[in-house]
Structure 1
Amino acid sequence: MTKNLLSSAVLAGVVAGLIAALLQFYFVIPTLLEGELYESGARVHFATDGSTQSDKGAPSLGGDFTRHAMTVAFNLVTFTGYGLILLALMLFAHEKGHALTPRTGILWGLAGFVAVQLAPAIGLPPELPGTPAAEVAPRQMWWALTIIVTAVGLALMAFGRGPIALLSIPLIAAPHIIGAPHLDTYFGIAPPELSAHFVTLSLGVALAGWTALGFLCAWFWTKANDA
């Protein structure tokens, strides 16, 4: 069982990581590079000398092979780690009598997306380079707490019964009621439209990656055990 778990999770993580990396290259990274132009001053959002704003348009990916290779490697490692955790949880639920199929794997992937990506992004959305933010340590603590309580809340919602299941609502809402650490005022370098577009693209790619991961974890597992 352990061998099949490891092999299935690794295969699923590699494939999902490649999918996420390709989507990032096409959608997210051009927007990220455009944000870096504003960070460096090569483009200006609010001009103060009477000059016009810089033209809109994302730069090409360029030939920074090392940076792009690190992006691929990061996605492979990250999604492989997520795959190991996700499949272990799926198998635990399977042993308790819950079906494990590629279709239910998609639901698990969506739950992972909500817990790890969407819920934290409500308070701490993905940021373009140069975006001012609160201190790192409080943000990391809030981020980790949000993931944990959201995951527990989703588990109660899916598998709990009666009043126990209702506890999922205040549990999931708790980090957002407390509030993520933020600065007292808003100021940034890049246009807000670009920042909003970056958040949308980042979450969309994450959704695709997690959905693929859940499906592939279940698919590789079922194929390994049917063989």
Structure 2
Amino acid sequence: MIRNLFAAALFAALAAGLLTAAIQHFRVTPLILHAETFEGEGGHSHGEAAVVADHEHAPGTAEHSHADAAASTAAEPEEWAPQDGFERTAYTTLATVLAAAGFALVIGAISMFANIPITFANGLLWGAAGFITFSLAPAYGLAPELPGMPAADLFARQLWWVGTAIATGAAFVLLAKTRASWAIAVSVALIAAPHIIGAPVAPDEPSAVPAHLATEFAAITLGTSAVFWAVLGTLFGRLNDLFAARSAATPIGAIA
């Protein structure tokens, strides 16, 4: 069972990751490159943006973060960054696929330990829960950011993102296991708690990035994340069903 779950997770992650990378290449990356032209203007030169889903993380992420070198002083060497074009696309695609594998293994582990199978019938629900947990709920407090936009302390943002994902995910698992009134109340409290505490607030600094560009980036990033999770959950469930049926049809002791 574990072998089937692992294989289904990796194959689903590869497909979802490649599809997401393609969408990013045509819809997300151009916005990042456009925003980079404004870096250094308006008194702000912080260069970090979410690429997958949204999400700013440690993956993610999933939205995983797309980091670019900030302007360096003459006394300090410049940070390495992939060159625009094929190199940048290749590294982004690799990071996206690896993030997809990480997310797939996470939901696979949750499925196994919570004893909630991922099937074709409920795969889309798993995907929806993943999207809300790792993308939508964190983005409610920390919207995806383009290079050149003011941002709060990185560690504080990562800590809040992880706490929000854990609390939201725990609420979904609890609701999947029981619909008792106490469980619903606890789930609502878990989902609301990070937002009551509040996400780290970005400094009030000027930014040269146009507001419409930031809005478009946030919308496309969340839309891309929704596609990613829908494909990952549905394909994961379908492959899990196929591998389970194949194992059941293979006689004990036979080579699969």
In which range does the TM-score fall when normalised by the shorter chain? 0.7 to 0.9
- The residue that corresponds to 1:152 in the other structure is 170
Relative contact order (alpha carbons < 8 A, sep ≥ 6): 1 or 2 greater? 1
**Separation (CA, whole Å) in 2 of partners of 1:123 and 1:221:** 34
Q: Percent identical across equivalent pairs? A: 37
**Aligned partner (choices 191, 210, 219) of residue 191 of structure 1:** 210
Amino acid at match of 1:149: A
1:105 equivalent to 2:105? Answer no
What's the CA shift string for 1:111-150, capped at 9, x where partnerless? 0110011111111111000111111111111111111101
Indicate the RMSD between aligned Cα atoms, in angstroms: 1.9
Equivalence map 1:76-87=2 (5 Å)? 76-87=97-108
Q: Quick one: distance in 2 between partners of 1:79 and 1:139? A: 21
Which residue pairs with 1:9 in the alignment? 9
User: Do residues 177 (structure 1) and 196 (structure 2) align?
Assistant: yes
CA 63–190 in structure 1, closer or farther in 2 if over 3 Å, else same: closer
- Residue of structure 2 in register with 1:143 after alignment: 161
Q: Which has the higher helix share?
A: 1
1:203 is displaced (CA, Å) by 0.5
How far apart in 2 are the matches of 1:217 and 1:99?
11
Instruction: Give 1:156 shift.
Output: 2.2
Of the three residues 149, 153, 159, the one matched with 1:131 is: 149
- Measure, in 1, the Cα distance between the counterparts of 2:5 and 2:182: 34
Does residue 89 (structure 1) correspond to residue 107 (structure 2)? The answer is no
Q: Distance in 2 between matches of 1:121 and 1:220?
A: 30
TM-score computed with the length of structure 2 as normaliser: 0.75
Contact 2:151 2:203 in 1 (8 A): no
Which letter maps to 1:31?
Answer: L
Structure 1 segment 41-56 matched on structure 2, within 5 A:
none
Q: How many Å separate the matches in 1 of 2:210 and 2:142?
A: 18
**Runs of 4+ with deviation above 4 angstroms:** none
Deviations 1:85-136 (A, max 9, x none): 112323445x4xx564213011001101100111111111110001111111
Stretches of structure 1 that go unaligned for 5 or more consecutive residues are 45-61
